[in-house]
Amino acid sequence: MAVEGGMKCVKFLVFFFNFIFWLCGLAVIVVGILVQLEMHKTIVMTNVSGSATPIVLIVVGVIIFFISFFGCCGAAKENYCMVTMFAILLSLIIIIEVGIIIAGYVFKGKLGGFVDEGLKDMVNQYNQSEKIREAMDDMQKELKCCGINSTSDWRDFGTDQKSVPDSCCKNVSTDCGKGSMHDSAKVYQEGCEKAVVDLLQKNVKWVIVGALVIAVVQILGIVFACVLMKGIRSGYEVM
């Protein structure tokens, strides 16, 4: 009876951890979507590796979401094969998450290069693409910045080489940036690169922390799944 009671507890824990996995999967999807939206709202990422991490995160979240239901079914039916498959799939997910964590650290260290490259493209194409112009204007307004490193990055914006887009102004109005490149009273003088890097590093940090927390919870889930597998294989009644 003691073994039976213990296995009932393990079965309950497998259900509990699968519910946690379900919530984690949902959270990973939401975080991935938010990071992806934030990255594309603030800058056009021209480097594929720069935007791959949140996409991989969303995919992993969807997989975790469905694996949790698979684990619940295996525990409910006390099916050895299903519980075993659940443990194997969860182990593979952990390996993928370790890869995400490593990619996150690598990406975090290269953010400056990605951002600099992306901002240069946006500044160069500002007058050629309405989509890029809107993205750049929104970014400068929201982050209260101007240009890449300073307002001087807009020297080719106007024929007088002293004008900046109106979105650089502290109080935005029509033609407020005309001839105001170095007027600190009217225009933000700090470039956008530092502000964007700080914002993206903050988002990447939360991705890494989230992946670590979920990996720890999943390891516990694998341990309980293995205990349940042993109980089922031994022929104990766990109902």
Spatial CB neighbours of 209, under 8 Å, sequence gap ≥ 6? none
End-to-end CA, the chain: 12
Q: pTM for this structure?
A: 0.59
Spatial CB neighbours of 116, under 8 Å, sequence gap ≥ 6? 148, 193
Q: What whole-number distance in Å separates Cα of residue 104 and Cα of residue 116?
A: 18
- Residues 182-202: tens digit of each pLDDT: 898 999 999 998 888 888 777
The HSE-up count of residue 186 (CA atoms within 13 Å, CB side) is 16
Residue 169: pLDDT band with limits 50, 70, 90: very high
Return the pLDDT at 42.
55
Return the pLDDT at 5.
56
- Chain centroid to CA 51: 9
Residue 235: pLDDT band with limits 50, 70, 90: low
CATH of domain 113-193: 1.10.1450.10
The full set of domain ranges for the chain reads 2-111+202-234, 113-193
